[in-house]
Every structure is written in structure tokens, then in C-alpha cells.
Structure 1
Amino acid sequence: MASHDGEQRALPAQGWTARVEQWWQRAWGSAGHERHTLLLIGKSTLAATGSWVISYNLLNAQSPAFAPFSAIVIMQVTVYQSLLQSLRYVGAVVTGVAVQAALGFLVGPELLTFALVALVALIIGRWPALGSQGSQVATAAFFAFSTYISATTGIDKITQLGQIILLVLIGCVVGVIVNVALVPPMRFRSAEYGIRTLAHALYDLVSDMYPALREGELDEERSSQWRRRAARTGGLITQARSGLRTAQESVYYNPRARFRRHQRRATFEGYGAVLEALERTLYQVASLTRSLDQWKEEERHNDRPFLGSYADFLEAIAAITQVLGTLDEDTLREQARQLCQLSDEAQQRCHQVTEQAEEDGLPVADPARPYGVLVVESTRLMEEFQHTCDVLQRHVDDGDE
């Protein structure tokens, strides 16, 4: 019995060990999230250590921890963000120390002074220009107050407050230097990842829809599920936008962007246009699912030819999204050509939807019936995918110039 319990306890440990081993394999095997995390930890450690050596060993500062703390705070995923956060962080710290110095020398080291310092620092910390570093105004002011009341003379007070600012500057400078000099992060792939995520979500949804439409299996439960899935894509859109923004920022002030290979990949206008097109496409698919969900059951069985034609169109759309789900800068030329061919096929299927609706005499002008919305959405979807194809083709052509 004890042996059996021991085996049960060993299983979770083995599973944990396997996950750790897989994480390290991904970190060493590909330039993904794991490797970026490992590099960020390593560079943060180096920056913190260097800042500590300067502040403690060289300057013999009374509060040397300010320097390594500052180095870690401004170590961001891109060089641009490191510089931006450094400026904001230094501004927040200087403001907090200045508030403490002004009120401290005017009022004195009293409890009332601390309350006033906290009030003013918290108000200033809400200034939008400081961004996420706004909270550091109050943090710096509190540390400055502690340093202020422990000093014995006026000169000592000024010296200690000035030293806080100096240590923060040292930490920020060391952090930026390490981030720029040691494998400065290039996140151009983040734009591709965002597009792939949206394309996969769209492909999965459309791939579930067209077989059911073709077989006439359009029940209320299934159409409601499609509608809910389409409504949950808002978070994916936000993530994709963030990925594109990170990719664009990664080339700012980055020495690696000087190389021609990265200059070619740093042109994100094409990906931005594709992302916008996919966003609009997801909204249109959501409208399409709402129309299907509101379709009366008796009409679903009487419109098999139209549903079959629409299924053919959605199948062609699924083929396009499948290619977008594997978008890769290294093979973009072949993918752009393939997308244009698939768009031509989808365009023919789109025309067949309209022709089928006219042939069956469906009331497309009746706003209370779903036919008109479905025909319109098929046209809009086709326009967006054709636009996507054209944008990628131009992106490839511009890269060859």
C-alpha cells in the first residue's frame, strides 16, 4: 500500500520534470516565447549585478539597491520601450524626491509632512505622461522621506536625496546599455503570430460551418454555438494588435535593424493592413452567424441549394484562412501567390451564391429574412480577402525593390 502511494506521489513530480524539460527544449530549439523569457531574465540579472557593483563597490552608496532595482524596472521587451520607460521612471523618481525635498524643508520631518508628501505624490502619479511608472512617484517620495528623517544635517539630507536620483540614473543607464548591446530584442515575428492566431480562429469556425450547411444540418444549437464563438474573438483581436505594435516598436533605436535582412522585415504596413482586414472579416462572420442563428427552422430545409452554394463559398474562404494561419516572412512570396489563386476561386464561388439566390427566387430584399444579409456578407468577405491578397502581393513586390 505504501509503495502504491509512493508511485502516486512520484507521478506529479515526473510530470513536472517533463514540463520543465520541454520548456528548456523549446527555449534552445526555437526563437519563441521561452527563449525571449530566458534572454530577458539573463539580461536583467546582468544589468542588476552591474548596477550593484557600481553603486555598492565603487560609490559605497548608503542605499545601493536603488540602482539594480531601477535596472530591472526598465528592462523591457524592446529597446524602444526600455528608453521610454527609463525616461518615465527617472521623471517619476525625480518628481517624488523633489516633492519630498520641498515639503520636508518647508514643514519639517513631521507626520503631517508625510501625509502631504503622500497626497501630492499620489496626485502627480496619475499624470498620463508618466504611464505605468506613475506609481513610482509615491514610491520614490516614501523612500526619500525615510532617507530625509535619518539624515542629521541639512547638507547630509540634500546629499542623500541627490544620491537616490544618481543611483536611479545609474540603474537606468546600465539597463539600457545591456538591453542594446546584448542581443537587442527583435520581435518582428510578433506581427505574424497575431495574424496567425486570428486566421486560425477564423479557419476553425468556418471549417465547422460549411460542412453543416452542405449537409443541411443547421440546427438551432449549432448556429448558437457558432454565434458565441464568433463573439469571443475580441480578445484575440486585442492580442494581435499588441503583437503588431510590439513588432513595430522592436526596430526603433535597435542596432540590429541596421542589417538589410531586418530592414526588409521591418516593413509592417502590409501586415497591419492584413490584420485590419481580418478584424473586419471576423466582424462580418459574426454578423453571418447571427443571421444563421435567426433563420427559421422551416426555411432551413427548403433552401438546400442556396445553403450548398454558400457552403462552397465558405469552404473556399477556409482555404484562404488556412494559408493565412501559416503566414511566414521567409515564404511570403509563395504564400501571396497561393492566396491570389485561392481568392480567384473564392470570387467565383461568391458569384455562384448570388446567382443561386436569384435562380431560386429568394426574397433577398426582405429585411426580415436572412438571404439578403448572407448575400451581402459573402460579397463583403470576398472584398476583404481580395484586399488582403493585394496587400500581401504589394508587400512582396516592395520588398524586391
Structure 2
Amino acid sequence: MAQRHDDGTPERDESRIGRLFARFRRARGYGGHERETVLIVLKCALAACVAWVIADTVVKADSPAFAPFSAVLMVQVTVYQSVVQSLRYVLAVTLGVVVQAVLGFLLGTHLWTFTLVALVALTISRWRRLGPQGPQVATAAFFAYSSFATVTTTYDQVTRLTEIVVLVLVGCGLGVAVNLLVLPPMRYRSAEYGITTLARAMDDLLGDMAPGLREGVPGEDRTGDWWRRARRIEGLVPQALAAVEGAQESVRFNPRRLLQRHRGASFHGYRDVVEALGRITEQLTSLTRGLYYATGTAAEDQPYPDFLAEYGDFLEGIGGATQELTELTGQRLAEQVDRLREHLDTAGEGYDRLAATVRRTSLDPAEISHAYGILLVDAARLLEELRFVQERLARSIGLAADPPTAQGEGR
């Protein structure tokens, strides 16, 4: 509750003002949510003002507000959405005006006419092709009826209805033009952020598992916690895919893409990376589930401590690769791809030692299959998927991919 002075008036909330100034400093200092919000507000204001001037002074419309209203609606988050939604919006408004024109001239201005207009417009608004702009059919029809009913001559009625469509065209055109010409939004960082967020969660899990396995056979509580965390990481994959798709959409029809070719990986490459990371999270879930069940068995059936120690070393090498992905950025992607390859080479050596340990400590194939088989297969697949990530990133920036290794030949 806000503090009050002795006279009952509320004191200034200094912390709230401080947070407001902090947001402005962040908007000025670097790109992010705050700067994006400021840019959208300024672009909407610019589009609205220009649309009003054209509607009021050039078109000399009786209701010029339709133009700035339409312009603000069309300053969407991406240029592609501005174009697509403006086309749908113009179509929806035109349909609404046409419905009113046909029924108005046939039946006149009566209550039953308005009722029929509403029924027809609301039915058309359900058309899936109109998408989120469907309700604008009814809205335009209602405005058109109001304008139609306020004049008596046929000429004035036609003029009013035509004026609505013209104002919407002006507003949509200006909204798209402002979004296209005034700092059109790009979303490279959102795609990278989706990947780094997913990789960071994986890296944190691997960072706990590697030393835990080197300490000996972990308890069921610990392996159960790893398993739960791995399942939660799987929930981040759809979010990362959505971030990449939003970033890819921001490039369509965007002239700034011509200035961003140096950024590095294409969005198609980023999507492949996220999908591969999704498969990696599935392997981590399988791996942690295998550890949970293995450590819950009788002591004589549990993996040997030296096998678990080698497994911890292998996961530490895998963690180096995921750590590299947590810092993914287009400006340094070539350098990061090289470091990722080095981490995976280290992890590959760890896998070879792990397989050698299995061969050394196992007496027969049945024992290998029972105690180590699933964990060893999960390790191979984990390494294979990360090699695919490194290969896909290398290809996306025009680097030659390494020849497939023993673990990667099946891809």
C-alpha cells in the first residue's frame, strides 16, 4: 500500500519512478523489449498522424478517424504480419461495406435491415481465410450502416460507403509503409535466445551430473531429480521453436535482411539446431531414466563405479559443447563452430574410453546388455546429435562439415 502524507495525499512512489527511468535507460542503451516497445509506440504515432493528415486534408473525409485507426492496427510486430494482416483487414472491411451497400439499397434503413446486415456480416466473419481480421467484417458493416443512415441521397450514400474503403486503404498502406521503412523489426536475437535458453538448461543439468557420477553410485533421490529436470527441459523445446519461427517471419519482406547477411546462420539452420536439441533432450531424458533405474537395482546389478566415473567424464565433455551453445551469437558463429568441434572431439575420446571400460569390466555380452547397454547407446546417440548440431551450424555459414564419425555414420 502506498505511503501517505499527514494531509492524506499519497507520497510519490520513488521505486516505481526509478524502474521507469531504468527502462528508458535500457531502451536507449541496447536492443531489447524496452527499445522495441518504444519503437512500436513511435511508429504507431507517426503512422496515425500522417494518416489523419491525408484523410482530413487530402481526402477531406467526414470521418477521418478510420485512416489512423487502420494505420495503427497495421504496425504489426513484423513486416510480414503487417502485409498479411493489412490484406485481410482491407478484405474484411470491403466485405462489410458491400454487405451494407447491397442490403441497404435493397431494403432501406430499417431495424430489420440492420438485423439482416448483422446476421450476414457475422456469418462472413467466420471465414477462416480472414483469420484474426474476421470480426472487422461486422464492425465495418455497422459503421457503414451508421454512415448510410445519416444521409438521404443515393450519391451521398455511395460516397460515404466508398469513403470508408478509401480510408482503410490509406491507413493500411501507411501502416505497412511505416513498418517497412522506419526501422523494420528483425528477430535474429530472439532465435539465438531460444537456442541459448534451451542449451543453458541442458548445460546446468550436465554440470550437476558429471561430478555426481564421478563421486560414485548416486542415490535414487539424486538420479530421480536429474530425470525430472530432463523432462522439464523437454518443455522448453516448443518455446525455442516458436522463437525461431517468429525470427524467420521477421525477415520476410524486410529490407534490413540485405544488411544482415553477415550475421551467420540462416533461420533454417537455427530450426534444424532446435529440432536436434529437442532430440538431445529426449536422449537426456532416456539417459537419466536409465541411471535412475540402474541405481535403484540391487548392488550387484548396479554399474561399476569406474564405469560411472568414465560416464561422468564423457558428460563433462558433452557439457563443454552445450556451454558453447549457451553463448551462441551470429557475429562469432564461425569461431564458436570451431570450438564446438573441439569439445565434441574431446567428448568422442571420452566415449571411446567409456566403451573400452565396458569391454574391460564385462565378462560376456549378456552382462554388457544388462548393466551398461542402454546407457552406452544413449551416450552414442547424444554425441551423434551434437555432432549433427555442429555440422548444421557449419553448413549454415558455408563451412565444410567434418566427415561423419563412427557415431555419426547412421545419420
Q: Settle same-fold status: TM greater than 0.5.
A: yes
For the aligned residues, what is the CA RMSD? 3.1
Give the stretch that moved more between structures: 317-326 or 306-315: 306-315
1:1-400 aligned at under 5 Å gives the runs: 13-216=13-216, 218-259=218-259, 261-262=260-261, 265=264, 267-295=266-294, 297-299=296-298, 302-303=302-303, 304-361=305-362, 371-397=372-398
C-alpha separation in 2, matches of 1:70 and 1:390 = 46
Alignment TM-score, normalising by the size of structure 2: 0.85
The offset of 1:52, in angstroms, is 1.4
Read off the aligned partner of 2:248 and give its amino acid letter: Q
C-alpha separation in 2, matches of 1:395 and 1:160 = 54
The offset of 1:199, in angstroms, is 0.9
The offset of 1:367, in angstroms, is 12
Give the 3-state SS of the residue equivalent to 2:251 in structure 1. Answer: coil
Read off the aligned partner of 2:320 and give its amino acid letter: A
C-alpha separation in 1, matches of 2:110 and 2:22 = 56
C-alpha separation in 2, matches of 1:331 and 1:300 = 48
C-alpha separation in 1, matches of 2:11 and 2:215 = 46
Cα distance, 1:206–1:101 mapped onto 2, change above 3 Å = farther
C-alpha separation in 1, matches of 2:106 and 2:365 = 78
C-alpha separation in 1, matches of 2:85 and 2:120 = 22
Give the stretch that moved more between structures: 206-215 or 321-330: 206-215
Give the unaligned 5+ runs of structure 2. Answer: 401-411
Read off the aligned partner of 1:328 and give its amino acid letter: T
Cα distance, 1:382–1:265 mapped onto 2, change above 3 Å = closer
C-alpha separation in 2, matches of 1:64 and 1:366 = 82
The offset of 1:204, in angstroms, is 1.7
C-alpha separation in 1, matches of 2:126 and 2:230 = 37
Question: What is the aligned-residue identity percentage?
Answer: 46
Q: Is the 8 A contact 1:202 1:321 kept in 2?
A: yes
Q: Is the 8 A contact 1:216 1:300 kept in 2?
A: no
C-alpha separation in 1, matches of 2:10 and 2:364 = 66
Q: Is the 8 A contact 1:251 1:266 kept in 2?
A: no
CA deviations 1:71-120 (Å, max 9, x no partner) are 11111222222111111111111122222222333344344433433333
Give the 3-state SS of the residue equivalent to 1:250 in structure 2. Answer: helix
C-alpha separation in 1, matches of 2:117 and 2:371 = 63
Cα distance, 1:58–1:342 mapped onto 2, change above 3 Å = same
C-alpha separation in 1, matches of 2:12 and 2:216 = 47
Cα distance, 1:99–1:360 mapped onto 2, change above 3 Å = farther
The offset of 1:213, in angstroms, is 2.5
The offset of 1:391, in angstroms, is 1.9
Cα distance, 1:181–1:355 mapped onto 2, change above 3 Å = same
Q: Is the 8 A contact 2:219 2:295 kept in 1?
A: no
C-alpha separation in 1, matches of 2:144 and 2:109 = 11
Read off the aligned partner of 2:281 and give its amino acid letter: L
Give the stretch that moved more between structures: 340-349 or 73-82: 73-82
Q: Is the 8 A contact 1:67 1:168 kept in 2?
A: yes
The offset of 1:217, in angstroms, is 6.4
Give the stretch that moved more between structures: 120-129 or 170-179: 120-129
Cα distance, 1:396–1:354 mapped onto 2, change above 3 Å = same
Give the unaligned 5+ runs of structure 1. Answer: none
The offset of 1:337, in angstroms, is 0.6
Read off the aligned partner of 1:341 and give its amino acid letter: E
C-alpha separation in 1, matches of 2:114 and 2:220 = 64
Give the stretch that moved more between structures: 307-316 or 291-300: 291-300
Give the stretch that moved more between structures: 299-308 or 81-90: 299-308
Alignment TM-score, normalising by the size of structure 1: 0.87
C-alpha separation in 1, matches of 2:242 and 2:313 = 34
Give the 3-state SS of the residue equivalent to 2:397 in structure 1. Answer: helix
Read off the aligned partner of 2:71 and give its amino acid letter: A
Give the 3-state SS of the residue equivalent to 1:19 in structure 2. Answer: helix
Read off the aligned partner of 2:276 and give its amino acid letter: A
Tell me how many residue pairs correspond in the alignment.
394
C-alpha separation in 2, matches of 1:127 and 1:382 = 48
Q: Is the 8 A contact 2:220 2:295 kept in 1?
A: no
C-alpha separation in 2, matches of 1:373 and 1:124 = 57
